[in-house]
Chain A
Amino acid sequence: MVAVRESREGFEPRITAFVCNWCTYTGADLAGTSRLQMAPNVRIIRLPCTGRIDPLFIVKAFERGADGVIVSGCHPADCHYSEGNYHARRRFALFRELIEFLGVDPRRVTFSWVSASEGAKWRDVVDATAETVRELGPFDAYRELAGRTACAS
């Protein structure tokens, strides 16, 4: 995988998706049962609710070499836990302001609502994110920073 990342030509983005168990995870299951073909670049981490997603998870993913991140849960008002997604929405509205400060192009982070019945929408989110991140190229800023720090010390 690392070898592939060397050349921009054959660059395959690594995308980490944080999704809630009830809507988006189930929607992604539906995409599977419907055999909807999509980009194989996304790895899903299942959480009970978007409310459980700590913004530091996203930072950590980038630190560990992800080129893009998807955060997706139930539509507003449809949260399995009534209001977890509202807390998430508020949290990420603020976090979006910080992403750039952290040195990450905000286009690398996709926030979306995908319900359990929206298998096709999940496919579209995955494909669109993969395409955007592919165009942005690899996210190496943190890696380079780590390399520089290692040299300096």
Chain B
Amino acid sequence: MARIGVFVCHCGENIARTVDAGKVAEDLRAHPGVVHSEDYKYMCSDPGQALIKQAMAEKGLTAVVVAACSPHMHEKTFRRVASASGLNPFLCEMANIREHCSWIHEDRVRATVKATDITRTIVEKVKYNQALDTIRIPVEKRALVIGGGIAGIQAALDLADGGAQVILVEKESSIGGHMSQLSETFPTLDCSQCILTPRMVEAYQHPNITLYAYSEVDAVEGYIGNFNVTIRHKARSIDESLCNGCGACTQVCPNKKIPSEFDCGLGKRTAIYVPFPQAVPNLPVIDRTRCARFLARARKITKEVCAKCADACTRGAIDFDQQDRLTTERVGAIVVATGYQLYNVGKSQPAGLKGYGEYGYGTIPDVIDGLQFERLASASGPTGGKILRPSDGKEPKTIVFLQCVGSRDSEKGIEYCSKICCMYVAKHTMLYKHKVHDGKAVVFYMDLRAAGKGYEEFARRAIEEDGAVYLRGRVSRLYREGDVIKVQGFDTLSGEPVVIDAEMVVLATAMRSQPGIEALAQKLSVSYDQHGFINEAHPKLRPVETNTAGVFVAGACQAPRDIPDSVAMASAAASKILGLFSKDQLEREPTVAMVNASLCAGCFHCERVCPYGAVEHLEIRDRKGVLVKVVAQVNPGVCQGCGTCEATCPSKSVELQGFTDQQIYAEINALNL
């Protein structure tokens, strides 16, 4: 006979305000199988835990039910308490009377009835709980980092310095990410490439880091400690082992008028190109959608069209017939650091977004976005660091900066704050004034959000020392009149409409998640929010973990992040992984499926529905070795415990430990006693 102890928590006032915890404990005391029931102010506190231990010792409890918060919050805590007192931790369960009851109801009587119902349900369940043993699985001490921006580079370096082997995968032909495009960084105005490129080289040369640039993650299988990752090495059309990065091929390529992605369309590149001079690895790639030879091939023209790059290459490294290559890597942990894209506010928009047609982005050449301004201000940019208008190459004497273009505007599809724009606009006004001394910088803003070390001081400097004019209000329309762009806005502080004649307009557009992030998230089984940002496991306490064990997140793929945040997240993720790798074996919850071989008829429906391929065939033979039948068997290392097999099994001969039919029917019955 079960001897169950029930412990009802007040959670200070959080539960006790709407649930009469004393009455719940009293009602449960009379429930069959319950030999001990009490309530206490804070069950998770030391004295609360001591109460549980004392009752276990005095009453010889065979199971414990703690009615308190969500099991996601404190199940581990109370299972540890049970374990410390010699009870198998899986004989301890939680009844969620806080998140699912006291916090969502105001009627004290009905909330108390509900809390009693919830607790009774779990008491009935726990009667059928089995003692389970933790599963131990080996850990592959190698990590995969997806994304070679500043977050990915930092995570890879920290992991590698900590002694772990790292695979760094970058989809572009060079690592560096958006940070490599920036001119200078706030709030110190140090040159972005000066601080980034040494780290890029360090990552490339680190003996513990294997860099796969121009590669993508194709498929991910497995689980924490034991992932099998298929990586697609996209065809560069260059033999990496032969190329020495001399650049002769890019100089002879006749197609020189392709808008450069790295320069955000402001500069030009060739069809065989290195995205920027400091690229790591310093290897060219042939853009097969632009190269005349490949275009001819696509049109089934058999004549060999152009091979100037191959002729120029003294090492014979150009390989027009190279194919995508797939390799498999075995890793124990994964960091997702895929970064962001800017909200392209032109006319054509994906579903859910509306764009800003009234701002003329994409039609008025001198209306540019923040990243394009970075390229203009960058010494390595298309203008050599001179602020010049894309339309006529003249130096603009008045630049208007618009903040919150796309951000904080649910009408246009994005309600969140992009976080970095206030600071980079302040930086842009300073860079502009430092380069064009007689220039005038005007900023339209909604609020100035400068929370961060040295940030407020930096923004004040832009206004007080560099004379940026900040107008609080929105701009309704931008239109061309002769040589100038008319900026028609409203200054809400003076209450006056304003029209400014600008020679250039910079839109601080919102940060969005990367295109294709949903597909990657699905491969990794991690969740993402409605904007495509990866969900962290807990917004405060587990900010770099995801809901999938062994998969971590860093940088702007989780939410809009600036460089210091991204680096901090990357180091945090790396330290979490190094902690994981410090053990030779991982402990896993034993909530896995088990087959009753004597009942199993060997139909293998379970095998067909198992998402993990955890079902194996077991041959049952008699004493003489004659095959009696073939039944299903679950590999506990591979099974993740979804239970789809159990719901599918026609003979009910597979059971998910911790969620057996018996336990669930006990719960259903208890709801209607």
- Measured CB to CB, the nearest residue on chain A to B98 is A32
* CB pair A48 B111 closer than 8 Å: no
CB A61 to nearest CB in B, in angstroms, measures 5
Decide yes or no: A53 and B647 within 8 Å by CB, A36-B104, A40-B114 being known contacts. Answer: yes
Contact partner, A54, options B529, B611, B612, B661, Cβ 8 Å: B661
Measured between alpha carbons, how far is A45 from B669 in the docked complex, in Å?
11
Measured between alpha carbons, how far is A8 from B110 in the docked complex, in Å?
18
Pick from A78-86, A100-108, A129-137, A144-152 the stretch touching chain B.
A78-86
A45 and B672 in contact, given A29-B99, A81-B644 (Cβ under 8 angstroms): no
- Residues on the A chain within 8 Å of B121, using CB: 43, 45
Q: Are A31 and B643 in contact (CB under 8 A)?
A: no
What is the chain B residue whose CB lies nearest that of A59? B668
B535 in contact (CB, < 8 A): yes
Is B158 engaged at the interface, CB distance under 8 Å to the other chain?
A: no
Distance in Å: Cβ of A67 to nearest Cβ of chain B? 10
* B665 nearest CB across to chain A (Å): 6
Whether a CB of chain B sits under 8 angstroms from the CB of A16 is yes
Contact B644 A57 (CB under 8 A): no
Asked if B326 is at the interface (CB within 8 A of a chain A CB), the reply is no
Specify which chain A residues have a CB less than 8 angstroms from the CB of B72 in the assembled complex. 25-26, 29
Q: Mark A26-50, 1 if CB is under 8 A from B, else 0.
A: 1011011101111010011111110
B522 at the A/B interface (Cβ < 8 Å)? yes
The smallest C-beta distance from A29 to any residue of chain B, in angstroms, reads 4
Which residues B630-673 have CB closer than 8 A to chain A? 640-644, 646-648, 656, 659, 661, 664-665, 667-669, 671-672
B327 within 8 A of A: no
A-B contact count (CB 8 A): 145
In the complex the two chains form, is B656's CB within 8 Å of A80's CB?
Answer: no
**Interface pair A14/B672, CB less than 8 Å apart:** yes
Does the CB pair A16–B671 fall under 8 Å? Answer: yes
Contact B611 A64 (CB under 8 A): no
A123 surroundings in chain B (CB, below 8 A): 104
A117 to B667, CA, bound (A): 26
Q: Report whether B100 and A65 are in contact in the complex, using a CB–CB cutoff of 8 Å.
A: no
User: Interface size (A, Cβ < 8 Å)?
Assistant: 50
Contacts of B659 in A (CB 8 A): 47-48, 52
* Residue contact B527 to A40, C-beta cutoff 8 Å: no
B641 to chain A, nearest CB (A): 5
Residue of B nearest to A55 (CB): B647
Contacts of B106 in A (CB 8 A): 37
Contacts of B391 in A (CB 8 A): none
Report the Cα distance A92→B71, complex, angstroms: 28
Residues in B whose Cβ lies below 8 Å from that of A84: 611, 642-644
Given the complex, which residues of B lie within 8 Å of A54, measured CB to CB?
Answer: 646-647, 661
Q: CA A38 – CA B111 in complex, angstroms?
A: 11
Partner among A32, A45, A57 whose Cβ is within 8 Å of the Cβ of B103: A32
* A51 within 8 Å of B (CB atoms): yes
Assess whether B104 is in contact with A35, with CB atoms less than 8 Å apart: yes
Residue pair B661, A117 in contact (C-beta under 8 Å): no
Closest to A64 in B: B672
Cα distance A22–B671 when bound, in Å?
23
Q: Is A109 an interface residue (CB 8 A)?
A: no
Number of chain B residues whose Cβ lies closer than 8 Å to a Cβ of chain A: 52
Contact yes or no, B99 A65, CB < 8 A: no
Q: Which residue of A lies closest to B665 (CB)?
A: A60
Minimum C-beta distance from B298 to chain A (A): 32
**Do B104 and A37 touch across chains, with their CB atoms under 8 A apart?**
yes
CB pair B527–A116 under 8 Å, yes or no, is: yes
Residues of B within 8 A of A46 (CB): 71
A124 to chain B, nearest CB (A): 13
**In the complex, residue of chain B having the shortest beta-carbon distance to the beta carbon of A82:** B611
The one of B99, B529, B548 that contacts A28, using a Cβ cutoff of 8 Å? B99
Max chain A Cβ within 10 angstroms of own Cβ: one of B100, B548, B642, B656 = B642
The interface bits of chain B over 503-522 (1 if a CB of A lies within 8 angstroms of the residue's CB, else 0) are 00000000000000010001
Cα separation A52 to B658 with both chains bound (whole Å): 12
How would residues 522 to 547 of chain B score, 1 for a CB under 8 Å from any chain A CB and 0 otherwise? Answer: 10010111100001000000000001
Is A125 among interface residues, defined by CB-CB distance under 8 A?
Answer: no
Q: Is A77 an interface residue (CB 8 A)?
A: yes
A81 touching B640, Cβ below 8 Å: yes
Chain A neighbourhood of B648, CB < 8 A: 87
Contact between B669 and A1 (Cβ–Cβ < 8 Å)? no
In this complex, what residue of B is CB-closest to A81? B642
Contacts of B642 in A (CB 8 A): 48-49, 51-52, 80-81, 84
For the complex, is B251 an interface residue (Cβ under 8 Å from A)? no
A22 with B547, Cβ < 8 A, contacts A45-B668, A117-B529 known: yes
Contact assessment for B656 and A48 in the assembled complex, using a CB-CB cutoff below 8 Å: yes
Are A65 and B672 also in contact (CB < 8 A) when A32-B104, A38-B104 are?
A: yes
Q: Please tell me which one of the listed residues B647, B665, B671 contacts residue A43 in the complex, with CB atoms under 8 A apart.
A: B671
Name B72-113 residues within 8 Å CB distance of A: 72, 96, 98-101, 103-107, 110-111, 113
| Chain A residues with CB below 8 A from B118, complex form | 43-44
Interface: B117 (CB within 8 A): yes
Q: Which residue of A lies closest to B117 (CB)?
A: A43
Residue of A at shortest CB range from B527? Answer: A78
Given contacts A80-B527, A87-B609, 7 further A-B contacts (CB under 8 A): A25-B72, A29-B72, A47-B659, A48-B591, A74-B527, A80-B525, A82-B611
Query: Can you list 9 pairs linking A and B with CB atoms under 8 Å apart?
Result: A40-B114, A45-B671, A47-B664, A64-B668, A64-B669, A77-B522, A81-B640, A83-B611, A84-B643
**Chain B contacts to A: CB under 8 angstroms:** 70-72, 96, 98-101, 103-107, 110-111, 113-114, 117-118, 121, 518, 522, 525, 527-530, 535, 547-548, 591, 609, 611-612, 640-644, 646-648, 656, 659, 661, 664-665, 667-669, 671-672
List the 3 closest A-B pairs by CB distance, nearest first. A32-B99, A52-B643, A51-B644
